[in-house]
Structure 1
Amino acid sequence: MITEGGISIEIVPITLKEANAFVSEYHRHHGPVTGHKFSIGLAEGENIVGVVIVGRPVSRHLDDGWTLEVNRLCTDGSRNACSMLYGAAWRAARAMGYKRLITYILESECGASLRAAGWKCIGQAGGLRWTGRRKPSVDLYPAQMKVRYQQEVTG
């Protein structure tokens, strides 16, 4: 729990349904996800101010059984919420035995919350749009390059 100016925010359990409802209301460019390994909420009193949804990597090449992906992270703009959720997601993934946690941000996003939570920038990844047989008929997110960040067990 972190207290700033008399306001306490804390990590709380949350269902996928609740997390997806929050994403539907607040996320700038992504919608809900269909599945997850776990979700974590961040609450100020009774109010949810952020969520992180963690699942298997979207890229089948990274789905090695030891890696998870932050598929959605969304907040209402509360201070330090993103970095708290990224940190909580990594601690939970590690506690479950996973060795690596990855996520992607748009090239136009700065990544400050990820760096504040100790994540390492791996560099540019992915393309502007989905390609191949599973390509959606309508873009599901802005057509920008992505940047991959990760946390990894070392040693």
Structure 2
Amino acid sequence: MRLKIVPVTFRQACAFIDAHHRHHRPPRGMKFAIGVARGDELVGVATAGRPVARCLDDGVTLEVTRSCTVGEPNANSKLYGAVWRAARAMGYVRLISYTQAGESGASLRAAGLLPVADLRPRPGWTTASRPRPSRGVDNVRRTRWEICAGK
């Protein structure tokens, strides 16, 4: 059976991410979510929303905030490609996402995204005015990837 893109609700996407994602909890909000299925079985989801970095939130940039699969071959790249096609149809001109050190980015590359920035490790999200618990992703180098319309 071939992989096919399927619609998913915010609730379905969050439940899938909660059950299968090793790095993060489900996102707080999103613009939309897309699923990928093999037959009737959901094997992956991606959520897209406003960029987390305020300086990138220009109204025409969208960020893949979560991409999560059960390990199905090609599911991640199929999700990234579907998110980009949907984003373009909605008028967005740039799509960004991030990988952590040690992740190859093969699925992003397969979907046409290119690495554009190596980011230093972030000490965490906690501040004196807003303490937050560590999620196990602090102090990890990241790479920002992007694809732009017309490139």
Cα shift at 1:131: 4.7
Equivalent-residue separation in structure 1 for 2:98 and 2:131 (angstroms)? 19
| Contact 2:126 2:133 survives alignment (8 Å) | no
Inter-CA distance 126–153: structure 2 relative to 1 (3 Å threshold): farther
Instruction: List alignment gaps of at least 5 residues for structure 1.
Output: 1-6
2:142 pairs, out of 146, 150, 154, with: 146
| Contact 1:129 1:139 survives alignment (8 Å) | no
Residue type of the partner of 2:31?
K
| Contact 1:130 1:136 survives alignment (8 Å) | no
2:68 pairs, out of 74, 77, 81, with: 74
Deviations 1:103-132 (Å, cap 9, x if unpaired)?
011011110111111111112125333357
Matched, 1:61 2:17: no
Please, which moves more after superposition, 141-150 or 9-18? Answer: 141-150
Cα shift at 1:14: 0.4
Cα shift at 1:52: 0.4
Matched, 1:36 2:23: no
Cα shift at 1:97: 0.2
Residue in 2 that maps onto 1:116:
110
TM-score (normalised: structure 2): 0.92
Residue in 1 that maps onto 2:82:
88
CA RMSD of aligned residues (A): 1.6
Q: Where does structure 1 differ by over 3 angstroms across 4 or more consecutive aligned residues?
A: 131-136
Inter-CA distance 14–122: structure 2 relative to 1 (3 Å threshold): same
Inter-CA distance 92–132: structure 2 relative to 1 (3 Å threshold): same
Aligned length: 149
Cα shift at 1:138: 1.7
TM-score (normalised: structure 1): 0.90
Instruction: List alignment gaps of at least 5 residues for structure 2.
Output: none
2:99 pairs, out of 93, 101, 105, with: 105
Inter-CA distance 23–98: structure 2 relative to 1 (3 Å threshold): same
Residue type of the partner of 1:148?
R
Cα shift at 1:136: 4.6
